[in-house]
Structure 1
Amino acid sequence: MRVEIWSDIACPWCYIGKARFEKGLAEFAHRDDVEVVHRSFELDPGRARGEVGPVIPMLAKKYGRTIEEARAMEANVASNAHAEGLGYLADGRDHGNTFDIHRLLHLAKARGRQSELLDLAYRTNFAEERSVFDPEVLADIAVRAGLDAAEVQAVLGDENAYADEVRADEREAAELGANAVPFFVLDRRYGISGGQPAEVFTQALEQAWQERTPALKTLTGDDAEACGPDGCEVPR
């Protein structure tokens, strides 16, 4: 079974939703038969690259709230993150364009290190006092995730590298009707929107698995003679 997850590392519910999905997956009997693929989605694609600013004023402006209301919103998200055992800085974080991060995630996918880079990107963005939107920090975590330093710099230095792959993911999200993230697609049978509780993911995985490999239905009639360990039935 394949599970595709559209997300953006600027999205706190993607961060929390990933943790909840993994808990739900851990309770799924066929978890070893599940392939997880992370796909790109930009929450703020119109933001200029290099335009980085603090999160709280951005939230206040975006939602028409006061600074204090924006802080309260972040505190609520932080509470949900902490409940999942995740680090979360409710204040002092940056916000910026995530296109380069998505491009590096596609490089990491090609090198079999996508999950490692995604975890580090989330942790750096939400739980550390470093900006993942700083090219040096981004390059550092990419190398820590297991990517080659020269290859990372080559991708960051070429704005077209893996750009088509990011755009293809975003087009596919639109075709599937995903206008918010996280968005989980199970075997192209079910779509789950939002960072749902872990048990919701477990139930959805079980249902998708059952429909993928339906239980065998045995049809019998009055004259269903057969042989078994104790011998064969004798027709009357």
Structure 2
Amino acid sequence: MRVEIWSDITCPWCYVGKARFEKGLAAFAHRDDVEVVHRSFELDPHRPKDDTAPVLEMLAKKYGRTLDEARAMEAHVASSARSEGLGYRTEGRDHGNTFDVHRLLHLAKARGRQGELLDLAYRANFAEERSVFDAETLVALGVEAGLDETEVRSVLADGSAYADDVRQDEREAAELGASGVPFFVLDRRYGVSGGQPAEVFTQALEQAWQGRALQPLGGAEADACGPDGCEVPRA
């Protein structure tokens, strides 16, 4: 069985949802027969490549909130992340265009290192003092994931490298009805949206394995990120 996960590295619920899915998968009896493939989804595709901004300032501007209210929004997400054993910095993070990150993730997929790079990129973006919008940081992350440095630099220097792969992922997400992430598709028959609890993922995997009907390409509401931002309580 194949599970495809559409996500973006700047999406906090993708970060949390990945951890929850992995816990759900670990509890699934047929986990060794599940292939997990990560797909690209840009939350801010029209943002200029060199336009980065502090996350708190971006949130305040996007939602028309004060910086203190933006901090409260981040604190909510941080609490969910930490409950899953994940590191999360509520200040000092950047927000920007993730196209290069996705292109590099496709290189990593081709080299069998996609999972390693995705974990490193999430950790760098949410838990560490490292900006994934800096080219040298991306090179370092690629090397840490086991990729060849020369090849990483070559891909980052050539904006067309793996660009079609990213766009194809995004077209498929649209065709499947995904308007936000994380978005999980099981065997191209069933879908689960949002950072659901681990037990929901286990149940979805069991139902898909047995061929039982899940709610097509949807599921119970859960925290997610989409074109209008990330769903968090208005503190």
* Corresponding residue pairs, total: 212
| Pairing of 1:159-174 with structure 2 (within 5 A) | 159-174=159-174
2 CA distance for matches of 1:2 and 1:205? 10
Per the TM alignment, residue 52 of structure 1 is displaced from its structure 2 partner at its CA by 1.0
Q: Is 1:53 equivalent to 2:53 in the alignment?
A: yes
2:20 partner SS: helix
**Aligned residue number for residue 182 of structure 2:** 182
**Aligned residue number for residue 201 of structure 1:** 201
Q: Is 1:28 equivalent to 2:28 in the alignment?
A: yes
**Aligned residue number for residue 93 of structure 1:** 93
1 CA distance for matches of 2:113 and 2:28? 24
| Pairing of 1:212-223 with structure 2 (within 5 A) | none
Per the TM alignment, residue 132 of structure 1 is displaced from its structure 2 partner at its CA by 1.2
1:69 partner SS: helix
**Aligned residue number for residue 84 of structure 1:** 84
1 CA distance for matches of 2:48 and 2:130? 20
2:87 partner SS: coil
2 CA distance for matches of 1:130 and 1:29? 37
**Aligned residue number for residue 125 of structure 1:** 125
| Pairing of 1:215-234 with structure 2 (within 5 A) | none
Per the TM alignment, residue 109 of structure 1 is displaced from its structure 2 partner at its CA by 0.2
2 CA distance for matches of 1:50 and 1:120? 22
1:39-60 deviation per Cα after TM superposition (whole angstroms, max 9, x unaligned)? 0000000100011110001011
> Which shifted more, 188-197 or 200-209?
188-197
Residue 97 of structure 2 aligns to which amino acid in structure 1?
A: N
Residue 79 of structure 2 aligns to which amino acid in structure 1?
A: S
Per the TM alignment, residue 121 of structure 1 is displaced from its structure 2 partner at its CA by 0.1
1 CA distance for matches of 2:188 and 2:166? 19
1 CA distance for matches of 2:132 and 2:10? 10
2 CA distance for matches of 1:209 and 1:64? 45
**Aligned residue number for residue 156 of structure 1:** 156
1:28 partner SS: coil
Per the TM alignment, residue 177 of structure 1 is displaced from its structure 2 partner at its CA by 0.5
* Unaligned runs of at least 5 residues, structure 1: 213-236
2 CA distance for matches of 1:99 and 1:150? 19
2 CA distance for matches of 1:211 and 1:170? 27
Larger Rg: 1
Per the TM alignment, residue 163 of structure 1 is displaced from its structure 2 partner at its CA by 0.2
TM-score (normalizing by structure 1): 0.89
**Aligned residue number for residue 19 of structure 2:** 19
Per the TM alignment, residue 64 of structure 1 is displaced from its structure 2 partner at its CA by 1.8
**Aligned residue number for residue 228 of structure 1:** none
2:211 partner SS: helix
Residue 22 of structure 1 aligns to which amino acid in structure 2?
A: E
The percentage of aligned residue pairs carrying the same residue is 79
